[in-house]
């Protein structure tokens, strides 16, 4: 085998992390959950997207339906375990070389610890919560602004993922009864009554009361489409955004069963263009490439000297 062919084969088989420039753990997100309080099965999902250094984008989604009755007597760690299993199921279709993040549950903690692997950089993370549970988000010991991570909170209607044509008489487009509470770094909570208010009205109020925030009329990052249509929620025209949040943690609690929330995190690594690679094509493409290399080697061996 010629040296050039050996190099080509090694490049094909060598994990991207072996050529890493981005260190492991550069980008992080800690998600702290509680117990769902909304009756029945309610959607909770999260999508993380990452980029191979100077390469393509990949993503994985963990999707669960949480029912408080099925966790009766259980600790929030049981919910965390289900959310962890969901994202692992979402990543399993990716070739191991392209799984650019780790997700772990610290022992005995209701926490998902997300971090980039060496040679990969997180670009976007979105958490979709329709379960009415207390959630808290942090980067560890760094403030969001110091890490260059932008944050957005998009209030949405539960009916947008729960409404079934022909089975539900009315698609609710306002809050019913309850509250939204947001706490930044343990400061005094900002609390709004939701009764009869639209998501746009609630976001306007939050933007006025939350220091350093603004009402964004374009999304923090483009809408992420998932194969499960129940998980798709196009941008509705406004969201509360922080471009430089000088806090290490943000906590959100919604008690109105008619409302859900999308929480978005944009990392400072999404500067290059390029489409997101379809994970379903990765294994076939690698297989085809491997077959091509094997065929070429067999051809070389059969050629007369």
For the ranges 31-35, 55-59, 121-125, which has the lowest average pLDDT? 55-59
More confident call, 16 vs 247: 247
Nearest C-alpha neighbor of 243 from the set 262, 266, 222, 271? 266
For residue 294, the model assigns a pLDDT of: 45
- Alpha-carbon Rg for the chain, nearest whole angstrom, is 22
Statement: residue 271 has pLDDT above 50 = yes
Statement: residue 299 has pLDDT above 50 = no
Three-class secondary structure assignment of 38-54: CCCCEEEEEEEEEEECC
- Express each pLDDT in 18-53 by its tens digit: 455 899 999 999 999 999 999 999 999 999 999 998
- What is the C-alpha to C-alpha distance for residues 277 and 250, in angstroms, rounded to an integer? 31
Quick one: average pLDDT of 274-286? 47
- Express each pLDDT in 133-191 by its tens digit: 999 999 998 999 999 999 999 999 998 887 544 445 556 666 678 999 999 998 899 99
| DSSP notation for 106-117 | -TT-SEEEEEEP
Percent of the chain beyond pLDDT 70? Answer: 76
For the ranges 113-122, 165-174, 194-203, 291-300, which has the lowest average pLDDT? 291-300
Confidence of residue 199 (pLDDT cuts 50, 70, 90): very high
Q: In what order do the strands lie in the sheet with 249-254?
A: 101-104, 111-116, 28-32, 135-138, 249-254, 179-184, 190-193
For residue 303, the model assigns a pLDDT of: 52
More confident call, 298 vs 54: 54
Statement: residue 216 has pLDDT above 60 = yes
For residue 214, the model assigns a pLDDT of: 97
């Amino acid at each position: 085998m010629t040296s050039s062919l050996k190099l080509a084969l090694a490049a094909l088989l060598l994990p991207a992390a072996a050529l890493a420039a981005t260190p492991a753990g550069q980008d992080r997100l800690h998600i702290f959950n509680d117990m769902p309080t909304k009756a029945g099965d309610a959607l909770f999902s999260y999508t993380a997207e990452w980029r191979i250094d100077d390469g393509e984008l990949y993503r994985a989604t963990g999707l669960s339906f949480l029912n408080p009755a099925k966790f009766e007597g259980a600790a929030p760690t049981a919910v965390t375990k289900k959310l962890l299993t969901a994202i692992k199921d979402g990543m399993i279709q990716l070739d191991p070389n392209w799984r650019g993040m780790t997700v772990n549950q610290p022992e005995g903690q209701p926490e998902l610890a997300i971090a980039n692997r060496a040679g990969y950089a997180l670009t976007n993370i979105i958490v979709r919560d329709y379960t009415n549970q207390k959630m808290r988000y942090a980067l560890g010991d760094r403030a969001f602004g110091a890490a260059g991570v932008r944050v957005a909170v998009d209030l949405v209607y539960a009916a947008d993922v729960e409404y079934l044509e022909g089975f539900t008489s009315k698609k609710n487009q306002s809050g019913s009864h309850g509250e939204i509470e947001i706490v930044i770094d343990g400061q005094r909570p900002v609390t709004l009554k939701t009764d009869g208010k639209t998501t746009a009205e609630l976001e306007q109020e939050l933007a006025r009361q939350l220091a350093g925030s603004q009402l964004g009329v374009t999304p923090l990052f483009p809408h992420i489409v998932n194969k499960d249509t129940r998980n798709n929620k196009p941008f509705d025209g406004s969201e509360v955004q922080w471009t430089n949040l000088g806090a290490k943690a943000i906590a959100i609690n919604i008690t109105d069963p008619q409302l859900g929330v999308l929480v978005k995190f944009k990392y400072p690594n999404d500067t290059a263009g390029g489409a997101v690679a379809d994970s379903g094509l990765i294994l076939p493409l690698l297989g085809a490439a491997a077959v091509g290399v094997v065929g070429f080697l067999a051809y070389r061996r059969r050629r007369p000297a």
